[in-house]
Chains A and B, each alone.
Chain A
């Protein structure tokens, strides 16, 4: 057994709720070091995901994530659209057609998502981007997967992503819009890392 398509749909639904609830907060984070659009774009993108899920209910977790990828890629725009789109596409591809996702497959899918983000955005750890939430999340998930408990994997990932997002506060941005600020980008949380942590927390919430 493991997590099924209902978990995936619930994850995406909780993600959409989180984006709507934190829309203004994400806009404010982006206003400080970017261009004030992240919360708006993520909210719009995940509403589109919900529409797609209702229109065309997926049969497997992998299918749900692929459908999410297409919706985000076509509705979010900015850098976040292709980055999250690639993340969900790689995660969905990693899960394949399996009806159930076990702990190892889950950790592998999170790793594939992170690798997709790195391949598209070419950011490294410490550049003050969403990679700084995803990489610790992937490492924590891999460590937790040994025990075979999917909920434990997701909780470990969510906690590590949240800590990773907080840890972007003092960093100087080296990729993305905030990089133009140089030293002045320090002292602000990266909005992409913040939204990544919200999404990974939603994944854990859906499995609880």
Chain B
């Protein structure tokens, strides 16, 4: 397929370089080993937040580096976790002495590479806590799989834990806030089309024109099952039912509703999904206190979306509202 690239092997290098040029007021880019840090890192006395993962999910994670969110992002090759020789220097670069929280999506590669890096950074004297994000309800049986994946909820964990770090919480408190967000968020996604990894050249799975893939992750991997195409409301119900069921959303709950585009679906369609999801939540007596709609954790040019619901309490709402200034999210300042 056609892609706006020069060389498949230079995609991440050139994209991160461009990102650094476009957002030089916010971030500093290290080219080799590759990582992106907040421009004023390390921030004195503040717990550092580091996340990372395969590229191809932009704006995640580099787009969330800045005040009130991440201190560093570590991009791997497309859909491939970064390596310890990137994660360790990124961790050291943002450590002010208050310790560093690694926010890791529960994919085997990310977990293994961050685990190795955390061991080695600890050996260099940095206190590390890890927040593992596993909000994907599409993965049902964790005994026979690598466990639930970290998907849309990752954005919410990064924002809210980032706000906790910014207000001065200590290492354990920031990690606890991150864990609390993860425990209170569930996500499910759908693909209307596959995506094409630049160096692979052909789509990551084959989907007919009249088929959709329910329960996808974010790495272009196929989902749980495949069904015939339906209308937006029916698809929304299919995604939202297991999310609300698993989270146990009850009448009177306050929630954040996050409709995320996978990269190839127009905002207008995401709002159609949002509309239906908001109706369903209202019917169940839940109050949508906060919302987020847009392409925040993507799979290249995949068509589709994910729906995340986060159960809010007053503290999480206040941390969500706290100022943030990154390339992809900015408010309150």
Contacts and interface: CB of A to CB of B under 8 A. Distances in A.
A161 to B, nearest CB: 21
A157 B243 CA distance: 47
Contacts of B82: 77
B108 A77 contact: no
B230 interface: no
B53 to A, nearest CB: 10
A78 B219 CA distance: 11
Interface stretch (B61-69, B139-147, B275-283): B139-147
B200 A82 contact: no
A177 B78 contact: no
A121 B221 contact: no
Interface centre among A40, A77, A80 (most CB of B within 10 A): A77
Contacts of B204: 31, 35-36
Interface residues of B, number: 37
A68 B3 CA distance: 34
B287 interface: no
Does more than half of chain B's interface fall in helix, strand or loop, or is it mixed? loop
B183 interface: no
Interface string A61-83: 00000000000011111111111
Interface centre among B76, B107, B145, B149 (most CB of A within 10 A): B145
Contacts of B84: 73-74, 82
B79 A180 contact: no
A85 to B, nearest CB: 8
Contacts of A85: 116
A76 B223 CA distance: 25
A148 interface: no
B79 A37 contact: yes
Interface centre among B80, B113, B219, B221 (most CB of A within 10 A): B80
Interface in A161-208: 174-177, 179-182, 184
A179 B145 contact: yes
Contacts of B145: 174-175, 179-180, 182
A67 B115 CA distance: 20
Given A77-B113, A121-B108, A41 B77 contact: yes
Contacts, number: 111
B7 to A, nearest CB: 13
Contacts of B187: none
A92 interface: no
B85 interface: yes
Interface in B185-229: 197, 199-200, 202, 204-205, 217, 219-224
B83 A36 contact: no
Given A35-B220, A35-B221, A180-B221, A78 B80 contact: yes
Contacts of A111: none
Nearest to B223: A180
Given A36-B197, A180-B139, A41 B116 contact: no
B78 to A, nearest CB: 7
A137 B74 CA distance: 36
A136 interface: no
Contacts of A36: 79, 197, 200, 204, 220
B321 to A, nearest CB: 35
A205 B205 CA distance: 35
Interface string B45-79: 00000000010000000000000000000001111
A174 B144 CA distance: 5
B112 interface: yes
A27 B109 contact: no
A75 B83 CA distance: 7
A34 B221 CA distance: 6
Given A73-B84, A77-B77, A181 B222 contact: yes
A73 B119 CA distance: 14
Contact of A184 (B81, B115, B222): B222
A74 B120 CA distance: 13
Nearest to B226: A184
Contacts of B220: 35-36
Given A36-B204, A180-B145, 15 more contacts: A36-B79, A37-B77, A76-B83, A77-B54, A77-B76, A79-B108, A81-B112, A82-B84, A82-B109, A82-B112, A121-B112, A175-B108, A177-B107, A177-B219, A179-B144
Interface of A: 27, 31, 33-37, 40-41, 44, 73-83, 85, 120-121, 174-177, 179-182, 184
Interface of B: 54, 76-85, 107-109, 112-113, 115-116, 138-139, 144-146, 149, 197, 199-200, 202, 204-205, 217, 219-224
5 contacts: A27-B200, A78-B76, A81-B83, A81-B112, A177-B108
